[in-house]
Amino acid sequence: MREAFAARLESILGRDSTMKNLTAPRLVEQAVLRGEGQLSATGALSVETGKYTGRSPKDKFIVKDELTSGTVEWGSVNVPMSEEVFYQLFERVLAYLEERDRLFVFQGFVGSDPAYRMPVQVVNEFAWQNLFARQLFIRPSQDELKGHRPEFTVIAVPGLKVDPREAGTNSEAFIVVSFTEKVVLIGGTGYAGEMKKSIFSVMNYLLPQKGVLSMHCSANMGPNGDTALFFGLSGTGKTTLSTDPGRLLIGDDEHGWSDNGIFNLEGGCYAKCINLSQENEPQIWDAIRFGAVMENVVIDPETRIPDYNDGSRTENTRVAYPLEHISGRELSSRGGHPKAIVFLTADAFGVLPPVSILNDQQIMYHFLSGYTSKLAGTERGIQEPEATFSACFGEPFLPLHPETYAAMLKDLVNRHGATVYLVNTGWSGGPYGVGKRISLPYTRAIIKAVLDGSLADVDCFIDPVFGLRVPKSCPGVPPEILDPRNTWEDKNAYDQKARELAAAFHKNFDRYSSVSDEVKAGGPPVQS
């Protein structure tokens, strides 16, 4: 960090009014006293994030300078910001911090493997956001705090809204990462997920340079120490399916895969709350207690009981809680090399099989594709389900070219003998609005069969449209639903919809002109 900026930030954080490394009870107390939120009947702190109830990808930038100009994959995901504009924005952020009567600072770590751990510092104007940071990042011991020297600093100031014409941004909000200055600036948005995902993007830039694959996935461990990974975009069940009473949770969202095995990057979980039920997701339900932070969940004004079925504020209601709130967790937040890897997709077209086993070419193809569906009503202008593709199941957070991560995954899978499955948690019997979503008990039965080896030697057939190897039977699942075409009354309608999705896969994969013909052959054999 430029000396003048660094000295100024140090002076700001050295003021008596700056509160550092407060405990969860103290942060909750501060948040309530300052009117930032209220305690719900569960004991969790309930807050509203304002105008922004989700990530704002069009407001995210990376500073383009000597360090990043030749390493970052620039484009619509990684949008460059000039050094001049960045430093002007940094000046405004520091001036804003100087005007605050109180600031909150969390100092901790990212990465549960000490060999790849990075010290971080999070500066907030709101106590509740600092509580979020405390619960989502790795909390240090008192001894670790003594020698803590942050390698990256996140500054989140939702109250600072800029004029995009003057600030060089796209809106009043901004999320800017400078790898040279090792700082993240977040302003204009109160959505706390921007803090966590910004640091995830930082790790996605740094870890591959150390020979470690950074992954947007959840991970858990069986009674015999067998580790499993679950890749998937929002709404596919990544958190739900990895939080299993019969297995130990390693983490629900961000991991690294090194020569030592799997390690969680975080110290907490960030779960969706919409339609949450104690019956279907008991561990998440029980984790929502004192110390947890609920975002945009509607609370009854008299009883203060959360209504998880109310999406009037947003469908993206969230809760953040520390891993300690999960009774069945792996204390080290680490695991061995995985033997089972699951790619999760929520296919709203209702044409992908509930489970299929991928060969080497299909692993690369589907990892680079990162397919799921956007549903009608989730975004303005969407009237019908839309196929959406996010490379490596996490493209918004990948500063490097997606093929960098895909090549690393292929190498690790081959070296450690992992089997990769594509599991559809979406619709069956017709598209969204006609068919029904595959029941969670059936999906859990599929995951159980994947993890206990029940599908290893089962008879399979090859799906004629997508070329996938599909089991003919699976314990706990009606065999008739394993072939999606069987579940449609109108077979011709199925064939047409399946061809439409196959064409969407091919159109998306045109972007990967440099991949081998062998990898391209992992896509649907049907061209249109």
Instruction: List, in order, residues 6 or more apart from 35 with CB less than 8 Å away.
Output: none
**Looking at 59, 253, 347, 463, which residue is catalytic?**
253
In 3D space, the residue among 422, 412, 414 whose CA is nearest the CA of residue 207 turns out to be 412
Give yes or no: 253 in active site: yes
At residue 396, what is the residue type? P
Residue of 64, 139, 196, 197 with catalytic role:
197
Closest CA to 468 of 485, 452, 451, 453: 485
Do 420 and 223 meet the contact criterion of CB atoms below 8 Å apart?
Answer: no
Contacts of 251 (CB under 8 A, 6+ apart): 218, 219, 264, 265, 266, 269, 323, 333
429 class by beta-carbon count within 10 Å (0-12 exposed, 13-18 middle, 19+ buried): middle
Tokens (6 digits) for 149 = 């020297």
Our answer to whether residue 507 is catalytic in this structure is: no
Q: Is 55 a catalytic residue?
A: yes
Q: Taking the CB of residue 41, how many other CB atoms lie within 10 A of it?
A: 12
Catalytic residue among 60, 92, 139, 216: 216
Cβ(268)–Cβ(322) below 8 Å:
yes
The amino acid present at 169, given as its one-letter code, is T
Retrieve residue 369's tokens.
Answer: 């594709």
Give Rg (Cα) of the chain.
23
Active site residue 197: yes
Q: Could you tell me the two tokens for 486?
A: 């069987």
Count the Cβ atoms, other than its own, within 10 Å of residue 336.
13
Residue tagged active-site, from 234, 388, 454, 473 = 234
452: annotated active-site residue: no
Report the C-alpha gap between 303 and 42 in whole angstroms: 11
Catalytic residue among 53, 227, 239, 317: 239
Task: Tell me which of 8, 139, 318, 337 is the catalytic residue.
Answer: 318
Helix (H) or strand (E) holding 272: strand 268-272
* Contact yes or no for 439/359 (Cβ under 8 A): no
Which of 8, 92, 238, 334 does the annotation list as catalytic?
A: 238
Q: Which of 49, 53, 55, 198 is catalytic?
A: 55
**Tokens linked to 424:** 């559809």
Q: Is 318 a catalytic residue?
A: yes
Residue found under tokens 């001894």: 143
The total number of residues shown for the chain amounts to: 528
239 annotated active-site:
yes
Identify whether 404 is a catalytic site residue.
no
Residues involved in catalysis? 55, 197, 216, 234, 238-239, 253, 318
